[in-house]
Amino acid sequence: MKLKARWTEMDLFRRGLLLLLAVAIPLFAVVTAVQCSRVGIEYGNAFLRRTENDGVIQYAGRKSGEDSVFTVCPDGRVEYRWGQETYGPYTILQDPSAAPEPSMGDSYVPEGLMGVEVRQGDTVLFRGGWDPDPDMTWYSLYDESGNELSGLSFSATMGDGTMIGSDGEIITPREQHEPKAAQLLRVALAPELVHRGSWLIYTSLTLLAAAGMGYILFYRELFYWNLGFTVKNPKNAEPSDWYVFSSLLGMGIITAVVLVLYVVQAYNIFD
């Protein structure tokens, strides 16, 4: 049967599903290409896109419903803005003498620590060694004495939305979004660039979409092909109402899954 004749005999539901998949494949190819070309960093489960102008690097996006922007200057200054709140400027200095000596045993200090100092004005927020590639991301800081500093913070949200820290003190929204020393060091010295969208997942979904389109076009032929293994004259058989209903339901589910996953992969963060 020619495609024109097949299109004519199809009901509106199958036509609609076929058009959705046919449009989604090239549309999300463009979306995926655009998303993959925009690199940035992941900060607090948010994607901050990287731009550069005259040596000044910015990472900007949306975090917790507000604009979130890191500004990194060539001289080591770092500023952060979340909504109307501004933090810094911080100064990031590299000083090899700040890194503790490597050691084994109970007071383990790994090799290859970068000696750093983080300042805010005249206040030293951190001085010691930083591991740019730690075994566990929340343990990357060691003070000058070799003590390991955890990057984890614990809090609880009360029924009225108030946040309580591990010490029982109330955490204000400003304190909640204040960047930690390890985060400042990561942004300034060794940002891990990521992007949204994945060509591998897009390709897999496109194969699934193509299979779905084939099923929409040839589901009756599949019915007769399956019967051919158990019935002598399958062409004399007619699919039951239940078979037709379950087939249409399957077509709808495949189309919905493909479309949802296209959107998810286009806006998920990948390295």
- Per-residue pLDDT, averaged over 133-142, amounts to 67
Q: How confident is the model at residue 34 (pLDDT cuts 50, 70, 90)?
A: very high
User: Residue 82: what pLDDT?
Assistant: 93
Q: Which of 132, 131, 130 is closest to 116 using CA atoms?
A: 130
pTM recorded for the entire structure: 0.78
**pLDDT confidence bin for 156, thresholds 50/70/90:** low
Q: What is the pLDDT of residue 223?
A: 67
Contact 68, 43 (CB under 8 A): yes
Q: 269, 263, 270: which is closest to 63 by C-alpha?
A: 269
Q: Is the pLDDT reported for residue 136 higher than 60?
A: no
Contacts of 262 (CB under 8 A, 6+ apart): 24, 28, 31, 202, 205
User: Cα separation of 75 and 203, whole Å?
Assistant: 43
Tokens (6 digits) for 210: 């193509």
Cis before 89 (ω within 30):
yes
pLDDT band per the 50, 70, 90 thresholds, residue 106: low
Token pair of 152, please? 């984890």
Count Cβ atoms within 10 A of the Cβ of residue 47 and give its class: 0-12 exposed, 13-18 middle, 19 or more buried: buried
DSSP state of 57: E
Whether the Cβ atoms of residue 215 and residue 222 lie closer than 8 Å to each other: yes
Q: How far is CA 68 from CA 14, 57, 60, 129, in A?
A: 44, 14, 6, 27
pLDDT digits over 168-210, tens only? 577 677 778 889 888 899 999 889 999 999 999 999 999 999 9
Which tens digit of pLDDT belongs to each residue from 56-65?
999 999 998 8
- Residue 124 has phi, psi (to 5 degrees) of -85, 110
Distance (Å, whole) CA 229 – CA 208: 26
State the average pLDDT over residues 153-172: 62
**pLDDT greater at residue 172 or residue 98:** 98
Which of 31-35, 135-139, 144-148, 197-201 shows the lowest mean pLDDT across its residues?
135-139
